[in-house]
Amino acid sequence: MDENGIGKEIVDAAIAVHRELGPGLLETVYEVVLLDELRKRGLHAERQVPIAIVCRGVHFDEGFRADIIVESKVIIELKSLERVINAHKKQLLTYLRLTGMKLGYLLTSARR
């Protein structure tokens, strides 16, 4: 499956999870439930995946952690907050750059 097909499944799964749980929960709750939903849809998905960085020729495995990576092709970054700021968008763009992946989703659920 290509990134676009995976992306469609991610969006459908995220909508299903949000309809069931609603807004206002902690990110980890959405993370584990979305991961389960993606796996039930037959996708290989992992959570809290280390994203390595290379600095001055030294490889560091624990640079960052992606919330969910699907099929080793798409990154999902989850936020449970009142509003998204540019730093959140830049975080996802940094993960895409470091991994060489082409598609990522910043999924948010407004907290009350």
pLDDT tens by residue, 54-64: 889 888 887 79
Q: How far is the CA of 105 from the CAs of 36, 56, 96, in angstroms?
A: 17, 30, 10
The β-bridge relationship of strands 103-109 and 45-55 is unpaired
The structure's pTM equals 0.90
The token pair that represents 27 in the structure block:
């990110």
CATH of domain 3-109: 3.40.960
pLDDT tens by residue, 71-93: 999 999 999 888 888 898 999 99
The confidence score (pLDDT) of residue 111 equals 57
Whether 24 and 111 have beta carbons less than 8 Å apart is answered as yes
23 pLDDT exceeds 60? Answer: yes
22 pLDDT exceeds 80? Answer: yes
Please identify which residue in the block is written with the tokens 């980890």.
28
- Average pLDDT rounded to a whole number, residues 19-41: 95
Distance, CA of 21 to CA of 99 (rounded, Å): 31
